[in-house]
């Protein structure tokens, strides 16, 4: 290929791509002007951090086929490096502007990616998953052992307002932090998207799909996995640095197994098959965690159930569900299936109500029984120990289940009819 | 000497408990290629089920009922959950069991509460079995070893000496041939998954009494049995047995020893004090790093012998 002069290459301006990225930047810039409450700003900042983290995770899971159970190790250690750097800068021992702190976190994450990645990427598939779990536990137990670096139970606190204000920016107010996070989020998003088009990104896809053939054409699959993991750890570290600035505290939880589980769940719910999937996942996940945890103590149960249902029935995540509808809309068939969606959705709501009643009443009777069994759900007061609410719940389960079974089959039937038409049209 | 004997006994009994868990995990893995992430969650369910049955029926009926219930649940999970995701490949299966582990933990929290339940040793098994020098060895530990050995023996007989065992072994190595000969391989898979989770449930009945029954018991033991499976060699029962004992013994010895690197350096003439660089590393005692040792062993194993102690394949 070296003989072909570069000016012969056909490379039109990709207008749609510029439009989408420009729009994304515009939306991120405009959001704090629309939602000005402090709560909304914090939520959006958390979403920005989660987006970077989930995208870096999908570099492994979606693009290279590496299922990691210990990704929080890289974001967490990156956050620790960042928090120490910020504290040193705060006392004037080193010079470093706060705006560049995510980069420090990223370098910290990448360093540990080089170190741990060498061990974990020796294997692939199921064994890789287990080793990442082991490394995750190793780091989590270390976090309680080395108090000087990890700060023990209380973690390490910091203050993001250091030095003289630059152009009036102190990072004291939440909005300024939001814009810093939005900036790094956009840059990381663009870089990670660009990475997926580099030779390494492409070979990572090949190693995911068929490692044997990738080796036959001369690539060391272990090295491809290792390099990918280092880059992924770098972006995870950026997410860690951003969360340091956002929360001004880093604790052992940041490297813990639960944190790793959350990023996996968020990424998968969004969809691992498409680049923008994890972005949706991170936004939806953060919103649900923050919103649900305010309403119910059993929010983790709902989250787990949602995740398991997604694995079973929509393994492509929300992104794949959206793509399916886009296909229907583009071919003007959406109207035909929409009423069936509505019917299935309505019966699904009955089932959801039954589920919520069951879980909340069980919770009231078992865990919160010290406060009595009287409870208040959606503005209705009732006694969770009485027979009537349970009878209503069982009724909801039966009716909802029966209706859902019928409507679900209708959706599936219409769906396959439409697909048969598509195939006919093609032939 | 006293320390040695007691630590060895504790290590062996803990190792046998680990084997009760890792045997089911290994069996399921070698058969279906599925790493059951929720295995420790079934262990926890076993403990909680035994606690609930025990309140009504007493410990010994619960010892039989709880594994049965957990095994039944496992079979249902295989039939209606795992089989659905099977067509999406191994990663989806792993994700499914991972989600299941999370879900079971949350169900336990909703049903039995966030704190530990008072699941106690029955009176017959309370008290010391015998006394070594001056330290008592509890009856419960002895019972734990007895149950584990009986289980090991029963599984061995079932796999090697019965017709079902023969079919299971055939389905393990040649699933298509076994199917062609008229055996229902998916049903065999369901049986193996149910059986494996029942073993985990049995371990839970014992482990729940011997240790603590709380919602974090699965999360704390789960990673260790994965370490056992990898160190022993993925899919090797004998390897799992060796690795279980090894990790059990290492941990119980480490907990009782206050050796540190600093002490070692001091013994060979290099003084270590608070001013020495990296002092927090030198002053660490072996008992403090005990929780870390299994994972360290895992990493070392992967570097020097990637297929595990008795494993046959590296991937």
- Predicted ipTM? 0.85
pLDDT of A1 reads 43
Distance CA B142, CA B197 (A): 23
Give residue B272's pLDDT.
67
pLDDT of residue B159: 83
Across residues A319-327, what is the average pLDDT? 86
What's residue A7's pLDDT? 58
pLDDT, position B74: 92
CB pair distance less than 8 Å for B94 and A133:
no
Reply yes or no on whether the pLDDT at B182 is more than 90. no
Nearest by CB to B292, which of A122, A141, A311?
A141
Cα separation, B31 vs B167, whole angstroms: 12
> Residue B151 has which token pair?
């289980």
Instruction: Locate B186 and state its tokens.
Output: 């998916």
Minimum distance, in Å, between the CA of residue B2 and any CA atom of chain A = 29
Stretch (H or E) spanning A118: helix A101-120
B302 part of contact set with chain A, CB < 8 Å: yes
Measure in Å the smallest separation between the Cα of B91 and chain A Cα atoms. Answer: 7
Please check whether residues A186 and A44 belong to one and the same domain. yes
**Beta carbons within 8 Å of B244's beta carbon, 6+ residues apart:** B15, B16, B18, B19, B22, B228, B232
Mean pLDDT is lowest, of A350-359, B11-20, B305-314, for B305-314
Q: Do A131 and B302 touch (CB under 8 A)?
A: yes
Residue corresponding to tokens 């360290």: B296
Strands A380-383 and B128-132 turn out to be unpaired
The average pLDDT across A280-300 equals 86
Q: What is the pLDDT of residue A6?
A: 54
Q: What is the pLDDT of residue A368?
A: 67
Distances (CA, A) of A25 to A41, A47, A106, A253, B126: 16, 15, 22, 32, 67
Contact B149, B16 (CB under 8 A): yes
C-beta neighbour count of A427 within 10 angstroms = 5
Percentage of residues in chain B with pLDDT exceeding 70? 92
pLDDT score, position B148: 87
Q: Read off the pLDDT of each residue in A209-233 and give the average, rounded to a whole number.
A: 91
pLDDT, average across residues A391-418? 88
State the residue for tokens 């089920």. B49
State the average pLDDT over residues A232-239: 94
Subunit contact B298:A129, Cβ cutoff 8 A: no
In this structure, the answer to whether residues A49 and A178 fall within a common structural domain is: yes
Residue B280: the pLDDT is 66
Q: Are residues A68 and A191 in the same domain?
A: yes
Q: Binning pLDDT at 50, 70 and 90, where does residue A181 land?
A: very high
Say if the Cβ atoms of B292 and A138 lie within 8 Å.
yes
% pLDDT > 90, chain B: 14
Burial of A110 (0-12, 13-18, 19+ CB in 10 A): buried
Reading the block at residue B246, the tokens are 């090894």
**Are A162 and A90 spatial neighbours (Cβ–Cβ below 8 Å)?**
yes
Q: Best interface-test mutation with B: which of A64, A120, A128, A130 has the largest number of B CBs within 10 A? A: A130
Residue A127 belongs to a domain: yes
User: What's the confidence (pLDDT) of residue A93?
Assistant: 81
- Ranges A223-227, A338-342, B65-69, B252-256: which has the least confidence: B252-256
Q: Which domain holds residue A160?
A: 16-305
Residues of chain A with pLDDT > 90, as a percent, come to: 27
The CATH number assigned to the domain holding A296 equals 1.10.3470
**Average pLDDT in the A241-256 region?**
88
User: What value, to the nearest 5°, has the Cα angle with vertex B215 and ends B209 and B221?
Assistant: 70
B278 SS3 class: coil
A313 domain-assigned: no
User: Which positions in chain B touch A138 (Cβ < 8 Å)?
Assistant: 292, 295-296, 299
Residue A152 lies in a domain: yes
> For residue range B273-283, what is the model confidence (pLDDT) as tens digits?
666 666 666 66
Q: Is pLDDT at B88 greater than 90 in this prediction?
A: no
**Residues present in chain A in total:** 427
Q: Is residue A360 part of a domain?
A: yes
A385 and A258 fall within a common domain: no
- Look at residue A5 and tell me whether its pLDDT is greater than 70: no
Residue the block writes with tokens 């929360």: A247
The whole-number pLDDT of residue A11 equals 67
For residue A320, tell me if it sits in a domain.
no
Confidence of residue B140 (pLDDT cuts 50, 70, 90): confident
pLDDT given for residue B142 in this prediction: 83
Average pLDDT over residues A387-406: 88
What does the block give as tokens for A161?
């307002």
Residue B79 burial (10 A CB sphere; 0-12, 13-18, 19+): middle
Query: What's the structural domain count of chain A?
Result: 2
Average the pLDDT over A15-22 and give the result.
Answer: 83
Instruction: Let me know whether A162 and A104 are in one domain.
Output: yes
Q: What is the largest CA-CA distance in chain B?
A: 74
Residue with more model confidence, A221 or A35: A221
CB contact under 8 A, B102 and A65: no
Shared domain for A170 and A228, answered yes or no, is yes
Residue of higher predicted confidence among A254 and B132: A254
Could you read off the pLDDT of B101-115 as tens digits, one per residue?
Answer: 999 998 888 888 777
| Portion 17-36 of B in contact with A at CB < 8 A | 33, 35
Residue A277 lies in a domain: yes
| Chain A environment of B98 (Cβ under 8 Å) | 69, 261, 264
The closest alpha carbon to A142, from B299, B243, B85, B114, belongs to B299
Assess whether A60 and A132 both reside in one domain. yes
Q: Give the residue on B whose Cα is nearest the Cα of A268.
A: B95
Within-domain flag for A348:
yes
From A412, A202, A427, select the one nearest A324 (Cα to Cα). A412
pLDDT value at position A184?
93
Q: Judge whether B227 is closer than 8 Å to chain A, CB to CB.
A: yes
- A398 has pLDDT over 70: yes
CB atoms under 10 Å from CB of A191, counted, come to 14
Mean pLDDT calculated for residue range A36-61: 90
Q: Which residues pair with A169 in a beta bridge?
A: A166
Q: Do A141 and B113 touch (CB under 8 A)?
A: no
**Residue from the list A141, A148, A313 with its beta carbon closest to the beta carbon of B280:** A148
SS3 B260: strand
Q: Chain B partners of A298 at a C-beta cutoff of 8 Å?
A: 106, 109-110
Helices B39-57 and B90-112 meet at what angle, rounded to 10? 30
CA distance B296 to chain A (A): 7
Residue B73 near residue B85 (C-beta atoms within 8 A): no
> Is the per-residue pLDDT at B253 higher than 60?
yes
Instruction: Please tell me the distance from the alpha carbon of residue B272 to that of residue B266, in angstroms, as a whole number.
Output: 6
Is the same domain home to A300 and A335?
no
pLDDT at B84: 85
Partner residues linked to B132 by β-bridges: B135
Chain A closest-CA separation from residue B99 CA (Å): 5
- CATH for B2-258, among 1.10.287, 1.10.3470, 1.20.120, 1.10.4190? 1.10.3470
pLDDT digits (tens, 9 = 90+) for B22-41: 888 888 888 777 888 899 99
Q: Categorize the per-residue pLDDT at A110 as very low, low, confident or very high, splitting at 50, 70 and 90.
A: very high
**DSSP state for residue A157 in the 8-state scheme:** E
Which B residues in the span 145-164 are in contact with A, Cβ-Cβ below 8 Å?
none
Q: For the full predicted model, state whether its pTM sits above 0.90.
A: no
Query: Quick one: A161 and A117 in the same domain?
Result: yes
Q: Are residues A246 and A105 in the same domain?
A: yes
Whether residues A148 and A255 fall in one domain? yes
DSSP-assigned beta bridge partners for residue B248? none
pLDDT at res. A154: 80
């Amino acid at each position: 290929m070296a003989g072909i002069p570069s000016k012969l290459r056909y490379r039109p301006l990709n207008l749609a791509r510029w439009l989408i990225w420009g729009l994304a930047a515009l939306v991120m810039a405009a959001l704090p002007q629309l939602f000005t409450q402090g709560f909304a700003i914090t939520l959006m900042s958390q979403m920005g951090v989660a987006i970077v983290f989930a995208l870096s995770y999908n570099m492994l899971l979606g693009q290279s086929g590496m299922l990691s159970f210990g990704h929080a190790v890289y974001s967490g250690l990156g956050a620790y490096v960042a928090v120490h750097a910020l504290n040193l800068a705060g006392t004037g021992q080193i010079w470093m502007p706060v705006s560049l702190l995510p980069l420090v976190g990223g370098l910290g994450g990448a360093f540990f990616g080089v170190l741990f990645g060498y061990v974990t990427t020796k294997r692939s598939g199921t064994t890789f998953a287990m080793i990442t779990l082991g490394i995750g536990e190793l780091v989590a137990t270390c976090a309680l052992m080395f108090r000087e670096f990890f700060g023990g139970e209380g973690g390490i606190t910091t203050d993001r307002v250091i030095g003289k204000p630059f152009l009036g920016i102190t990072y004291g107010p939440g909005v300024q932090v939001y814009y810093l996070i939005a900036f790094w989020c956009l840059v990381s998003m663009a870089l990670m998207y660009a990475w997926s088009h580099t030779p390494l990104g492409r070979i990572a896809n090949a190693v995911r799909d068929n490692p044997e053939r990738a080796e036959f054409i001369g690539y060391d699959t272990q090295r491809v996995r290792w390099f990918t993991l280092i880059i992924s750890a770098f972006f995870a570290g950026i997410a860690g640095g951003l969360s340091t600035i956002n929360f001004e505290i880093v604790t052992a939880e940041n490297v813990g197994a639960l944190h790793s589980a959350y990023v996996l769940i968020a990424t998968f719910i969004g969809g691992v098959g498409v680049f923008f999937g994890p972005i949706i996942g991170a936004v939806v996940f953060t919103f649900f965690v923050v919103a649900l945890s305010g309403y119910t103590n059993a929010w983790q149960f709902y989250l787990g159930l949602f995740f398991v249902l997604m694995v079973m029935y929509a393994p492509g995540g929300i992104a794949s569900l959206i793509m399916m509808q886009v296909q229907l809309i583009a071919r003007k068939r959406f109207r035909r299936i929409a009423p069936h969606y509505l019917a299935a959705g309505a019966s699904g709501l009955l089932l959801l109500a039954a589920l919520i009643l069951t879980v909340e009443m069980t919770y009231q009777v078992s865990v919160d029984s010290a406060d009595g069994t009287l409870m208040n759900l959606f503005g209705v007061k009732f006694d969770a120990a009485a027979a009537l609410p349970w009878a209503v719940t069982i009724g909801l389960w039966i009716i909802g289940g029966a209706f859902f079974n019928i409507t679900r089959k209708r959706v599936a039937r219409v769906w396959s009819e439409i697909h048969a038409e598509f195939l006919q049209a093609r032939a | 000497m006293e320390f040695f004997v007691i630590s060895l006994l504790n290590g062996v009994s803990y190792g046998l408990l680990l084997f009760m868990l890792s045997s089911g995990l290994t069996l399921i893995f070698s058969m279906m290629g599925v790493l059951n992430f929720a295995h420790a969650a079934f262990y926890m369910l076993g403990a909680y089920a035994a606690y609930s049955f025990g309140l009504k029926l007493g410990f010994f009926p619960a010892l039989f009922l709880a594994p049965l219930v957990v095994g039944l649940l496992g079979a249902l999970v295989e039939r209606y959950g795992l089989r659905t995701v099977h067509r999406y490949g191994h990663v989806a299966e792993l994700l499914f069991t991972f989600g299941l582990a999370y879900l079971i933990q949350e169900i336990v929290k909703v049903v039995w509460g966030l704190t530990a339940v008072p699941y106690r040793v029955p009176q017959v098994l309370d008290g010391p079995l015998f006394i070594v020098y001056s330290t008592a060895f509890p009856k419960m530990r002895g019972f734990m070893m007895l149950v584990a050995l009986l289980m090991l023996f029963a599984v061995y007989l079932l796999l090697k000496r019965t017709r079902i065992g023969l079919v299971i072994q055939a389905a393990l190595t040649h699933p298509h041939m076994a199917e062609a000969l008229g055996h229902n391989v998916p049903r065999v898979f369901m049986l193996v998954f149910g059986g494996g989770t029942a073993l985990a449930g049995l371990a839970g009945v014992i482990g729940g009494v011997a240790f603590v029954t709380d919602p974090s018991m699965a999360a704390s033991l789960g990673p260790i049995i994965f370490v056992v499976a990898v160190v022993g060699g993925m899919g090797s029962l004998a390897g799992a047995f060796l690795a279980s004992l090894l990790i059990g013994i290492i941990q119980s010895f480490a907990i009782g020893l206050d050796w540190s690197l600093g002490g070692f350096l001091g013994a060979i003439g290099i003084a270590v004090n608070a001013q020495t660089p990296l002092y927090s590393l030198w002053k660490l005692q072996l008992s403090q790093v005990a929780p870390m040792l299994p994972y360290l062993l895992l990493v070392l194993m992967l570097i020097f012998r990637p297929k595990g102690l008795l494993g046959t394949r590296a991937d």
